[in-house]
Structure 1
Amino acid sequence: MGSFTPKQSLTVLDNRTGNSYEVPIKNNAIQATAFTQMKATPQAVFGAQDRPEDETEKGIRVSDSAYTNTAAVTSSITFIDGGRGILRYRGYPIEQLARKSHFLESAYLLIYGELPTAQRYDAWSNEVLHHTYLHHDVEHVMSSFRYDSHPMAMLISGFAALGAFAPEANPSLQGQNLYSNAAKGNVEALAQMDKQIMRLIGKAPTLAAATYRNRQGRPFNRPPTGLSYSGTFLYCLDQLSEHQYKPNAVLERALDILFLLHADHEMNCSTATMVHVGSSLVDPYSAVAASCAALYGPLHGGASEAVVRQLIDINGPENVPKFIEQVKRKERNLAGFGHRVYRTTDPRSTIIREVAEQVFSVTGRSKLLDTALALRDAAEKDDYFKSRNLHANVDFFSGIIYQQMGFPLDFYPVLFAVPRVVGWLAHWRQAMLSPSQRIWRPKQIYIGASERDYVDVKQREEAREPKYGSGPVSVAHGGDSKRRHLATYLDETGKLHARSKL
């Protein structure tokens, strides 16, 4: 028997044609486009007929719903090993950064690839913290929302509005290669890109604070000078008419660590949105607004809020066993456990547990903590959860910290969005600097009807058993709509309409 010589490739045998293909493996990945060369003639196999819509002669498509095993980018920013519970920013373990670094320094690291020298950091932090002011008309936009508008709805609109006040930053006005020219060594394009990055990071806490103040009917604060990034945010949130107002140092540092931990998490839903939208070469303000919309979703940015609501609903550690059994019977959902990537402990959750104790030392112990600890301990000891790798994640304790710091539940996604702007921009900048940057255009597998002829409306018939969702659900109207429905009127053509059913 001859010796086996390993090769960095994958050999694929197409049983439809008998052809063999060798696909190179690089970084333990293969190019999906390699499968396009695997073409065949449409045929019937085991009673299944290739349809014209399958486009069999154009090569095999790779099906991966929800991107469960598709690498859409090549990145040097953040590394995650979900099996071992590892998270690193540019190679630095998150534990070291949380202990020794701070948010703006780690933001520089994420965006530019290295920890800054003292001189570079001073220049960086000064630029970011001098870009905190909002245009007066943007403040008008933020103040125009109803008092009960969701903070994330306001934040999304705020980021989009910022772009309208920076026409020099809009490729649709200045030329489509305004940023992508940076990949060709154009220093002016690179400078324009970095200016918008500093603007967005600087204005993010001011916009977020504006959503909070608008909800309370309070005037917006002017950003202070001389405070840290998280200190500036807390000042804009809370300062009223006091002189020399300074946020509590423990809360300021705790929020800074939370911001650092949430700054990036590689190709999550909102970051993928940033790169996808950015691939159209739109301005970064619009792309950040789109990413905020992705983060707004309860499966992404709303997780920490769901944890607190869950703990309130459990109503005490004595009710945890009953809740655990309901979860196992799939009668209840379990928030704050498990992760799409991590199959062991989320490294951020351990750090956040320490932060929680620091916060509680000045705010007092959270009434929800005993319930949270009982829930965590019960889940970690139960084989049902252990076999499913359901460990406490970053959202489990962060929600309790936010609650104890006095933030309303619906403000939690905003607290997630402010630091995540850094991660979004780091990935956007990386994409703009890539010579192979192209607009994202995923494939689909079409399983709908084959070609059919148009049928005149008079000849169409209702299906005997219509499929669920095959038509609009009737909308119930009330109030003035009912009165209008009973009225008669002339339309623009002069035709009389009588809607009365009486």
Structure 2
Amino acid sequence: MTIEQNLIPVNGKHTNSEKSQALEIRDLRTGDSYTIPIRHNAVSAVDFASIKAAENTNYPADQDQNGLRVFDAGFQNTAVGESKVTYVDGQKGTIQYRGYSIADLYGKVKFVDTAFLLIWGHLPSDDERAELEYNLAHVPLPDQTHMGKNLYLKNLKLVDKLIVKVMADLAVVSAAAYCHHEGRPFQQPDSKYSYIENLLYMMGFVDSSTGEPNAHHVSCLERLWTLVADHEMTCSTAAFLQTASSLPDPYSCLISAANAGYGILHGGAIEVAYKNIAEVGSVENVPAKIESVKSGKERLFGYGHRIYKVVDPRSIFIREVLSELGEEAKADPLLKVAFEIDRVASTDEFFTSRKLNPNADLFASFAYKAMGFSPDFILPLSIISRTQGFLAHWREAMEGSARIWRPMQIYTGELNREFETEKQQ
């Protein structure tokens, strides 16, 4: 049952148990009272449309007679859908994929297992894993067509096929782009490798003596990407689903998500955090950086999170990966600067009183760099690592009904201005 189903009893009356899970509202404009049901600690915004008043003749744009609207700039406290994919508890600092804690999945499953779990709801059997790995290495590039019709809604067979194609295509295209950027030869995917092994192989990240993907780096990426595979209704996930609500192909939806992820307040923060640390330059300059942040002159990227009031659980495991990368990570002198920023900020009342803690962006770039990736390609890697999360939410949406995301606005501008011709002016 969705939140919007069966909110008002058929007979229009509420039992005592229903009233205990409801809001009693009295509109002081009219004196009328309303009962708004609560389900899953949420109320349906549509229910507020029943709260109406006479038209405000002084400002008819408020549309009082059409029902009360809910204003929430930036979706600070608005749920746009129901999902069974990922649960984030920002108070306790925990993340669950389909009910499994990432702390339990981390280091115990492959990235492709995590992808399978997010998308299809259960951990794969050996045969299911092998089939998915094979398909990811053999899917051809998509046909360039626009059918002009609904192809995906309620068509999960096609949706599942497209999910594999998108994951495979993105890996191939990203690897080819990286090789072009770095001036190195591109290798075709090999079916004997896993998804992450193939990505490294195509990019040329192989052991010089064996020609095989570096096993240690594969292990690190498997764990890193399990940590960041999905994060509930993020800005980029919402952008993906907003686009998907008009029923285009998933590639178009992915472009929307990537564009949203590119912004410095979202996925782009991982790259900006590294560049800001580079601007600090040395441990000696950290106090000045912290003071500049405290005075409001600049932001401290890599610190604080809109959801978490405690340490981002992903950052704890990312530091573990950094530790395992050992000398490869320590070769970057900026890592000491990042550790010092964390040390100072974590004991400063300015940050602790505001519950600002390190997030996944503070150290993740150092893990990628230790494996040989240039800082300016870390963001594309982040998009790849999040794609199966996007696709899991897309599959869930395609199981539902056609409902385009069309938010309302509150108009605050002028009304009924008289048009004057140029001659009159």
Is the TM value for this pair above 0.5? yes
Aligned to 1:389: 355
Match of residue 152 from structure 2: 179
SS state at 1:10 partner? strand
Residue 203 (structure 2) aligns with: 237
> Could you tell me how far 1:331 is from its partner in structure 2?
2.0
Query: Where do 5+ consecutive residues of structure 1 fail to align?
Result: 44-48, 135-161, 183-188, 461-502
Written as runs of structure 1 = structure 2, the 5 A alignment for 1:137-152 is none
> Which whole-Å deviations, capped at 9, do the CAs of 1:377-431 have from their partners, x for residues lacking one?
1111011000111100001110111222222222111011102110111111100
The aligned counterpart of 2:412 is 447
CA root-mean-square deviation: 2.0
Matched position secondary structure for 1:18 = coil
The correspondence of residues 39-438 of structure 1 with structure 2, limited to 5 A, is 39-43=52-56, 50-131=58-139, 134=141, 162=142, 165-167=143-145, 170-172=146-148, 175-176=149-150, 178-180=151-153, 182=154, 189-238=155-204, 245-362=211-328, 364-434=330-400, 436-438=401-403
Partner of 1:495: none
CA apart distance, 1:458: 3.9
1:50 positional shift: 4.7
Q: How far off is 1:362 after superposition?
A: 4.9
CA distance in 1, matches of 2:206, 2:246: 42
Tell me how far 1:285 sits from its aligned partner: 1.0
Verify the 8 A CA contact 1:171 1:281 in the aligned structure 2: no
- Classify 1:54/1:340 alpha carbon distance in 2 versus 1 (closer, same or farther; 3 Å): same
Alpha-carbon spacing, 1:36–1:363, altered in 2? closer, same or farther (3 Å): closer
Q: Name whichever of 349-358 and 328-337 sits farther off.
A: 328-337
Q: 1:489 — aligned with what?
A: none
Cα gap change, 1:91/1:361 in structure 2, threshold over 3 Å: closer, same or farther?
farther
Query: Would the aligned equivalents of 1:302 and 1:412 in 2 still touch at CA under 8 Å?
Result: no
Supply the distance in 1 between the matched residues of 2:206 and 2:392 (Cα, whole angstroms).
34
Does residue 38 (structure 1) correspond to residue 45 (structure 2)? The answer is no
Shift of 1:242: 7.6
Q: Deviations over 1:252-279 (max 9, x none)?
A: 1111222222211111011001111000
SS in 1 for 2:96: strand
Match in the other structure for 1:475 = none
TM-score, normalised with respect to structure 1:
0.78
1:241–1:10 CA distance, 2 compared to 1 (3 A): closer
* Deviation for aligned residue 1:239: 6.0
8 Å CA contact 2:134, 2:191 repeated in 1: no
Question: Using the alignment, how far apart are the partners of 2:29 and 2:185 within structure 1?
Answer: 70
Distance in 1 between residues matched to 2:206 and 2:95, nearest whole Å: 39
Shift of 1:332: 2.5
Aligned to 1:144: none
Q: Secondary structure at 1:11's aligned position in 2?
A: strand
Q: Secondary structure at the match of 1:95?
A: helix
Q: Alpha-carbon deviations, 1:338-368, whole Å to 9, x = none? A: 1111111100000100011112355654312
Once the two structures are aligned, what percentage of the paired residues are identical? Answer: 39
Aligned mate of 1:18, from 5, 24, 31: 31
Instruction: For 1:455 and 1:260, locate their aligned partners in 2 and report how far apart those are by CA, in whole Å.
Output: 62
Per-residue deviation at 1:244?
5.6
Shift of 1:228: 1.8
> Aligned partners of 1:59 and 1:363: how far apart in 2?
58
How far is the alpha carbon of 1:125 from its aligned partner?
A: 2.1
1:116 alignment partner, SS class: coil
User: For the Cα contact (< 8 Å) 1:352–1:398, is it kept in 2?
Assistant: yes
C-alpha distance after superposition, 1:164-185 (max 9, x if no partner):
x253xx552xx32x211x2xxx
More off after superposition, 363-372 vs 70-79: 363-372
Structure 1: how far apart are the matches of 2:413 and 2:191?
A: 59
Q: CA offsets, 1:189-243, max 9 Å, x none?
A: 2211111100011122211112212223344321123112111111111269989
> CA separation of 1:250/1:21 partners in 2, compared to 1, >3 Å: closer, same or farther?
same
TM-score relative to the length of structure 2: 0.91
Alpha-carbon separation, structure 2, partners of 1:426 and 1:323: 40
Q: In 2, distance between residues paired with 1:50 and 1:380?
A: 52
Partners of 2:319 and 2:353 in 1: CA distance? 24
What is the CA–CA distance in structure 2 between the aligned matches of 1:242 and 1:376, rounded to whole Å?
A: 36
Distance 1:166 1:244 in 2: 38
Matched residues in 1 for 2:315 and 2:193: separation?
27
Q: Give the Cα separation in 1 of the matches to 2:84 and 2:183.
A: 44
Paired residue secondary structure (1:41): coil
Amino acid at match of 2:93: G
Partners of 1:250 and 1:362 within 8 A in 2: no
Match of 2:13 in 1: none
Q: Which amino acid aligns with 2:126?
A: A
Within 2, Cα distance between the matches of 1:74 and 1:363?
A: 40
Q: Is the 8 A contact 1:343 1:390 kept in 2?
A: yes
The letter for the 2-side match of 1:221 is Q
Shift of 1:457: 2.9
1:7 maps to 20
Q: Distance in 2 between matches of 1:262 and 1:76?
A: 17
Equivalent AA in structure 2 for residue 36 of structure 1: A
2-structure distance, mates of 1:251, 1:358: 10
